[in-house]
Amino acid sequence: ETGVTQSPTHLIKTRGQQVTLRCSSQSGHNTVSWYQQALGQGPQFIFQYYREEKNGRGNFPPRFSGLQFPNYSSELNVNALELDDSALYLCASSLEGQGSVQYFGPGTRLTVL
Amino acid sequence: AQSVAQPEDQVNVAEGNPLTVKCTYSVSGNPYLFWYVQYPNRGLQFLLKYITGDNLVKGSYGFEAEFNKSQTSFHLKKPSALVSDSALYFCAVRDDTGRRALTFGSGTRLQVQP
Average pLDDT over residues A77-105: 92
Dihedral angle at the C-alpha atoms of A96, B49, A36, A86, nearest 10 degrees? -150
Lowest-confidence segment of A85-89, B40-44, B62-66 by average pLDDT: B40-44
Confidence (pLDDT) at A52: 87
Q: What is the pLDDT of residue B100?
A: 75
Question: What does residue B60 show for φ and ψ, rounded to 5 degrees?
Answer: -75, 155
Helix, strand and coil percent figures for chain A, each rounded to 5: 5, 50, 45
Task: Supply the pLDDT for residue A87.
Answer: 97
Name which of B4, B102, B106 is nearest A45 (Cβ-Cβ).
Answer: B102
More confident residue, A42 or B28: A42
- b/e for A32-58, b at 16 or more Cβ within 10 A? bbbbbbeeeebbbbbbbbbeeeebebb
Beta strands A74-78 and A19-24, pairing class = antiparallel
Distance CA B1, CA A98 (A): 17
Mean pLDDT of A63-71: 94
Q: Which of A10, A101, A111 to mutate to test the interface with B (most CBs of B within 10 A)?
A: A101
Q: Does A42 touch chain B (CB under 8 A)?
A: yes
pLDDT above 80 (res B96): no
Residue A98 confidence (pLDDT): 63
Share of chain A above pLDDT 90, in %: 79
Please determine, for residue A2, whether its predicted confidence score (pLDDT) is greater than 80. Answer: no
Q: Is A66 on the interface with B (CB under 8 A)?
A: no
The answer to whether A89 contacts chain B (CB < 8 Å) is: no
Which of B44, B100, B107 is facing A90, going by the closest CB pair?
A: B44
pLDDT at res. B53: 85
Report yes or no: A110 at the B interface, CB cutoff 8 Å.
no
| Predicted local confidence at residue B99, as pLDDT | 62
Quickly state the pLDDT bin for B97 (edges 50, 70, 90): low
Reported as a single tens digit per residue, the pLDDT across B7-37 is: 999 999 999 999 999 999 998 888 899 999 9
Inspect the interface and report whether the beta carbons of A106 and B104 lie closer than 8 Å.
no
| A104 interaction partners in chain B (CB closer than 8 Å) | 36, 43-46
- Identify the pLDDT of residue B101: 86
Q: Please say if the pLDDT value at position B38 is more than 80.
A: yes
Is the CB of residue B91 less than 8 Å from the CB of residue B25?
yes
Mean pLDDT of chain B: 93
